[in-house]
Amino acid sequence: MVFSNPDPESVAAVPGHTGGGRRSAGKPTRGRREAPLAELNGAVAALTGAASGIGRALSVQLAKEGCHLALADLDESGLAETVGLCEGTGVKVTSRVLDVSDREAVFAWADAVVAEHGRVNLVLNNAGVALGATAEKMSIEDFEWLMGINFWGVVHGTQAFLPHLKDSGAGHVVNISSVFGLLSIPSQSAYNASKFAVRGFTDALRIELEIEDCGVSSTTVHPGGIRTNIARNARVDPSVVDLGGEVSDVGADFDRLARSSPHKAALKIIEGVRSNRRRVLIGADAVAFDIASRLPARLYQGVLVRGARRRR
């Protein structure tokens, strides 16, 4: 679907854009840390997981900032609702139903985005799912399903769009990890693995981009409890009962702990892009997880073990 700004200059160059190609030769810029996308008005952003939650909030806020959008999600009806929310902002919006675990489909989407918008400056790999199960009893099918979306979806999105970002002359990659990419907790071994993988992948990407000095940067985002549907839509295996949990309590427990809104998360992420942050922590719980991750593992793991044993 395409919703266009009638203004023929809707794909005009953004600040930092050199008209295509890599950063031009000239005065050495080694070590510079200024944000490639300090100005988002007129930029083009591609975003996965746009049908709800943080993805929807990012879409709406970016549209308000004057950023043209290419939105994707597997949820067709939710995606259409997000597109509707972005209408009337004067930006061009395109959308595609997409399974981010399908590498060929993601690469085809990236090519389509450039064909439809002329370029792309910002990629936000936000699509994600959740799974509750013990490491011993979770099915390999569920594990592969989660990794296909949470990790490989990030890899596919990054690799598909990165050449286009470099061609734009001013680009940024945002990959969504989690507080569970900072600390591991029981019943979340698959989710932890995927989010630690996103963190490691994006940290390495950031260093590579700085070495290349190509006008593109990256940010890892660690959201804490955000009021979205991810926990309520999670696959939960009965094995969580072995750890003191209840299958029926997952969504309710998450709702009690979720303190931040998707809108606040979106504002924080956008500010992270503008200021070229390496990492963005969202919520007081994310800050607490970050602090705990720097402590000896036996301390926080001991607390988790004692708490789980009391609930059994």
Q: Is 68 helix (H, G, I), strand (E, B) or coil?
A: strand
C-alpha distance from residue 184 to each of 68, 91, 192, 230, 273 (Å): 37, 40, 6, 18, 27
Query: Is residue 139 predicted with pLDDT exceeding 60?
Result: yes
Q: H-type helices in the chain, by residue range?
A: 53-64, 76-86, 103-117, 140-150, 152-168, 189-212, 250-257, 262-274, 284-293, 297-311
* Residue 191 annotated to the active site: yes
Fold (CATH) for 2-311: Rossmann fold (3.40.50)
Integer CA distances (angstroms), 241 to 233, 238, 270, in order: 18, 6, 39
Break the chain into its structural domains and give their ranges. 2-311
User: Is the confidence at residue 20, as pLDDT, over 90?
Assistant: no
- Quote the pTM value: 0.82
Calpha distance 194→238 (Å, rounded): 21
pLDDT at 7 over 80: no
Which of these ranges, 174-178, 208-212, 216-220, 294-298, has the smallest mean pLDDT?
294-298
Which one is catalytic: 191, 196, 254, 289?
Answer: 191
How large is the average pLDDT for residues 24-38?
52
When pLDDT is averaged across residues 54-71 and rounded to a whole number, the result is 98
Q: What is the pLDDT of residue 185?
A: 85
Nearest C-alpha neighbor of 199 from the set 129, 279, 130, 103 = 279
pLDDT in tens, 290-308: 998 898 877 877 777 776 6
User: What pLDDT, on a 0 to 100 scale, did the predictor assign at position 228?
Assistant: 60
